[in-house]
Amino acid sequence: MGRKLGTVLALGLVTSLVFALAPGEAERSAPPAPAVSLGAGAGTLVVDLVDGAGEADLQTVEALLGADLDWTHPLSVDEALAEGWVADVPGALAMLSGHPLVEVAEPEIVMEAYGNYPNDPMYDRQWHLRAMGAPEAWSATSRGQGVVVAVVDTGVSKVEDMDGTEILKGASFVPGTRSAADDQGHGTHVAGTIAQTTNNGKGVAGVAPDATILPVKVLSKFGFGSASWIAAGIDYAADEGADVINLSLGGGYSSVIHNAIKKARKKGVIVVAAAGNSGNRGVGYPGALEETIGVSATGPDGKLAPYSSYGKGVDIAAPGGDKRKPGGGVLQNTVDGKGGDHYVEYQGTSMATPHVAGAAAVLLGQGMAADAVERTLLDTARGDSWNERYGHGHLDLAAATKGAVKRGGTQFALGAVFALLIAQLAATRRRFQLGSAGVAGWLAGGLFFLTALPIPDLAVLGFFTKPFLEWPSLLALPEWVHFPLWLSAVLPFAVAFTLGAFKGTRPLAFGLVCGVGAHLLYGAATSTLDPWWLPASLGTLWLILNATACGVLALGLAGAQKLDEGTA
């Protein structure tokens, strides 16, 4: 009995793994001064209560602060160390000063392993990367490996601090300009925020330094471009396999641009666009479109920048800079218009947008699906509810990567439960070969956790990190990811009646069926799978019913194996 249960548990766990604004907006300036303080306000407060303090004492402090605190760790309860989010850190510290239940209280301070974070000499001036939580994300996850980000802009040139960044050839859609090189500076600055070469001992850092940049020149050296050029550039980027399109440009509504964005989204491409620099209510296009992630801009104090447009269409806020404050612009390396390059601060919603595009690349590099990436970025943004200035809140890549890990954990847990139930209900006298069933399960569900491991050249493992049902997105057929019959038990049925017909290959069929079923169940539970033509509630029901059908198939395969073993 012990050996049998152990095998069941092992099978369950293994199978569960299966699871413009034209660029004229961005003025150039002298080299940046040292960064200013990000300011005080809401944040995490760490409270060290007196030794021996218990739950009642913690509740007393919570009542005083009007905030929820949790013990930092079960092993630190005896030391009475707690933490929690408060709306006013300085005010909370003042209230706790001299309190008899409190030994020490301070704002949360993030430490680092020396040498782990960038050694780029001007990184300390990039307040904007720290404001969005990029350093914490770098230390815990991938940095955009295998993700292609199209910069649809004035072009991109390989400046000195992009020596280690992969930049594709790209294309120009500006008449009379053959090269996708940057002749203005805006596009290269944007690309630097996304994927500046990082930890190379020179210059500055980027949000997703391991991402690949696809230059798409649609704006002239004067910073302007027609809607037809931009639409053609968007079509090209989607056809070339871009995973993310950055649109740090804008103006009035264009139906041809809108149509191009719709087609890109249909192919599974994330489109991020600037809100505009009017400083007034009214978001420019394409940032105002439902199909784009519209980005407003904040300064180093976390407040909406004075130039940023706001209103309906803003989905998230990100650092865009405010050069009224010393060192308050967004610092990157770009061309200088004289055949060389320099490090310069720009400001604008054009600068805010690539922070979000880079964050999307980091999450995609973890193996997340495009729809899940957008949902995670908005769900983890710092903010209580949507408002017209900050959308769903301030971009928080650190929280987003943690949210991605939680989604992966949910997938793992659901997969484990699914596989364990199938294995236990089958009650076969001798279990399937663990190896072959497990391998099939891995292929079906995807080894999502591999993206968090220090494995070189992770891009080649794309097929292994994504669930089988998401493989079409890697084969330039992203439309299939939403096709209802693909997100169903049709394929498992075909496998069950082919591979499942023979004793030797039946374990493979069992693993694949369990993996697909668990992935469908996970998609229903987390709303990360979106079958076309079905309203949200019917789509969820569709996924659940087909996951159940996979469970029935798995039981049938287990029963067939039992019969074969009984007659052997």
Dihedral sign, Cα of residue 343, residue 346, residue 352, residue 353: negative
Question: Is residue 214, in this structure, part of any structural domain at all?
Answer: yes
Q: In this structure, are residues 327 and 32 in contact, taking their beta carbons and an 8 Å threshold?
A: yes
CATH number of the domain that residue 163 is part of = 3.40.50.200
pLDDT, position 114: 43
pLDDT, position 6: 37
DSSP calls for 290-333? TTSEEEEEE-TTSSBPTT--BSTT--EEEE---TTSTT-SEEEE
Among 378, 395, 412, the domain-final residue is: 395
pLDDT digits (tens, 9 = 90+) for 29-69: 333 333 333 334 788 899 999 988 999 999 999 999 999 99
Based on the structure, what is the number of domains in the chain? 3
Q: In this structure, are residues 284 and 296 in contact, taking their beta carbons and an 8 Å threshold?
A: no
Q: Does 379 share its domain with 414?
A: no
CB atoms within 10 A of CB 425: 12
pLDDT, position 514: 79
Q: Does 544 share its domain with 455?
A: yes
- Using DSSP, state whether 454 is helix, strand or coil: coil
User: Could you tell me which residues are beta bridge partners of residue 344?
Assistant: 332
CATH number of the domain that residue 57 is part of = 3.30.70.100
pLDDT, position 427: 43
pLDDT, position 22: 38
Q: Does 352 share its domain with 444?
A: no
Q: Does 307 share its domain with 387?
A: yes
pLDDT digits (tens, 9 = 90+) for 9-26: 333 333 333 323 333 333
Question: Is residue 435, in this structure, part of any structural domain at all?
Answer: yes
Place of tokens 């152990």: 6
Among 339, 367, 395, the domain-final residue is: 395
Using CA atoms, how far apart are residues 153 and 247, in angstroms rounded to an integer? 7
Confidence (pTM)? 0.63
Place of tokens 């019917």: 538
Question: Is residue 361, in this structure, part of any structural domain at all?
Answer: yes
Q: Does 413 share its domain with 383?
A: no
pLDDT, position 563: 74
Question: Which residues belong to the active site?
Answer: 153, 186, 350
Q: Which two tokens stand for residue 392?
A: 């769903």
Q: Does 384 share its domain with 318?
A: yes
Q: Does 344 share its domain with 493?
A: no
Whole-number Cα distances in Å, 393 to 106, 259, 298, 480, 523: 25, 28, 11, 32, 25
DSSP calls for 323-368? TTSTT-SEEEEEE-SSSSEEEEEE-SHHHHHHHHHHHHHHHHHTT-
Q: In this structure, are residues 378 and 292 in contact, taking their beta carbons and an 8 Å threshold?
A: no
All residues at 6 or more sequence positions from 314 whose CB lies less than 8 Å from its CB, including other chains: 275, 283, 287, 294, 295, 296, 388, 389, 390, 391
pLDDT, position 47: 93
Q: Does 442 share its domain with 539?
A: yes
Using CA atoms, how far apart are residues 532 and 545, in angstroms rounded to an integer? 16
Question: Is residue 75, in this structure, part of any structural domain at all?
Answer: yes
Short-list 156, 289, 151, 288, CA closest to 233: 151
pLDDT, position 353: 98
Alpha carbon 432 to its chain centroid, in Å, reads: 37
Whole-number Cα distances in Å, 23 to 61, 223, 435: 51, 5, 56
Among 395, 427, 445, the domain-final residue is: 395
Average pLDDT along the chain, 568 residues, taken 10 residues at a time: 35 32 36 34 87 91 92 82 89 92 87 59 92 78 85 96 95 94 96 94 93 96 93 95 96 94 93 96 96 96 96 96 94 90 96 97 83 89 92 92 58 51 46 50 53 48 65 64 86 90 83 81 73 78 90 84 66
Q: Does 387 share its domain with 413?
A: no
Q: Does 451 share its domain with 550?
A: yes
The range of the structural domain enclosing residue 473 comes to: 2-17+402-567
